[in-house]
Copies of this chain bind each other. A is one copy, B any other.
């Protein structure tokens, strides 16, 4: 049964204004930036009200009003998502968490930091560095909120060595869809204390509760890093090298692959050429970009030599060492600007971020290329070679939106199926949100979807929190 939502009446609006005076925006007061995320092709929609969050208690009071009146509630961070998870596709009350952006304090004996959920990844990273600490998760988008990162279990470049956001969440405070406040987890690394509600909340994309405080694990920052640009003749050779990094215990902090086309796009965008296109007469088709970290530069240099020997032996055409801050910055600036570079030269854009077993990357990308040939859009891809998480972009400049959407939808269904066939999953780090829920339903199957739906109902008996996302869409049940 679909739930029926009510609309925000003038009386309810007054209740909100009484709870958080000056923080409530309705109708035309709402900035249209709130109507979409970074992938506008997934769901657009205007909330009836936007409220800037201030404290856990105020959020609880607001959610209680929504619960009593059956109003949809949509939590939103910086709006940098790529699946429409933070878009009000069913109207309702959007709670903007981005102003709850205080770093509340470090606990240097237990290596944790308490933060409000609106703190930006970049701000925590820089602040932790000043304490000699590293917050290891390093998603490409540095201006996402930490609450958003936790809500998608964001991964990023350093996941290959340090794991994903999930591995760094020790505890959180959550406002449930009923308006109740719960605390999950603790400042400890081990627990066997009942079902892991903490792990259930991580990656639930704001559909089970609103995260209002986080306790995150930090590690002592490695003192030194070295990056390597490793060119290959083709992608197959490039990907085939990846397991050797692990077998030889090289423990790269980051291990990214990129094909030539996307490097060219990025260099056009940045106006700077860093990656070699030809080495001793060999045309380069793909690259690995690798970072090692450690405390001792001598040891890192030794490791770099060993790694160079191994990759050259395994088919690399050359190894370029970026050991100065400027060189490292240039190499990684190219990688970091891929999405912006694509956006800059593309009118219509869609993407998927499947994850496949590492040894299936080359096979999978070959399939994707073949599958794309019958369509009118162009495909550009890059990704995390160390963990099999691939970002595949469909780009078009000369197609009408409807044709684009139709073609992409068919193509995506095809490549999601293939990812599943090779033992992969729908999303490595971007999430399901609004845009990918049909693919999730197909992949996960009816029994898993029934379990997710049951969990959703347990947390959210009136189904008001972030409807239309992951496993519940009132429109489909109408």
Residues in chain B near residue A193, CB distance under 8 A: 425-427, 432, 440, 443-444
Stretch in A3-11, A330-338, A341-349, A351-359 with 4+ CB within 8 Å of B: A351-359
Interface pair A188/B356, CB less than 8 Å apart? yes
Residues in chain B near residue A423, CB distance under 8 A: 186-188
Contact with B along A424-468 (1 / 0, CB 8 A): 111111111000000010011101100110111111000000000
A contact face: mostly helix, strand, loop, or mixed: loop
Select one of B167, B192, B202, B452 contacting A194, CB under 8 A: B452
Q: Which residue of B lies closest to A353 (CB)?
A: B192
Interface pair A186/B424, CB less than 8 Å apart? yes
Interface pair B187/A357, CB less than 8 Å apart? yes
Interface pair B458/A189, CB less than 8 Å apart? no
Q: Is A111 among interface residues, defined by CB-CB distance under 8 A? A: yes
Select one of B108, B189, B220, B459 contacting A451, CB under 8 A: B459
Residues in chain B near residue A445, CB distance under 8 A: 182
What is the total number of copies of this protein in its complex?
A: 2
Residues in chain B near residue A282, CB distance under 8 A: none
Interface size on A, residues (CB 8 A): 81
Select one of B190, B192, B199 contacting A388, CB under 8 A: B190
Residues in chain B near residue A384, CB distance under 8 A: 190
Residues in chain B near residue A110, CB distance under 8 A: 357-359
Interface pair A195/B452, CB less than 8 Å apart? yes
A425 in contact with B188 given A199-B196, A459-B451 (CB within 8 Å): yes
Q: Which residue of B lies closest to A355 (CB)?
A: B188
Residue of A192, A248, A356 contacting most chain B CB atoms (<10 Å):
A192
Interface pair A192/B430, CB less than 8 Å apart? yes
A153 in contact with B195 given A359-B110, A451-B458 (CB within 8 Å): no
Q: Is A197 among interface residues, defined by CB-CB distance under 8 A? A: yes
Supplied contacts A192-B427, A195-B470, A299-B299, 8 more A-B pairs, CB within 8 Å: A109-B359, A182-B445, A182-B451, A188-B355, A190-B429, A192-B203, A195-B204, A197-B451
9 intermolecular pairs with C-beta atoms under 8 Å apart = A108-B243, A154-B192, A167-B167, A188-B355, A188-B423, A188-B428, A191-B428, A194-B440, A195-B456
Closest 9 CB pairs of A and B: A454-B458, A109-B359, A199-B199, A190-B428, A155-B190, A193-B425, A188-B355, A187-B357, A192-B431
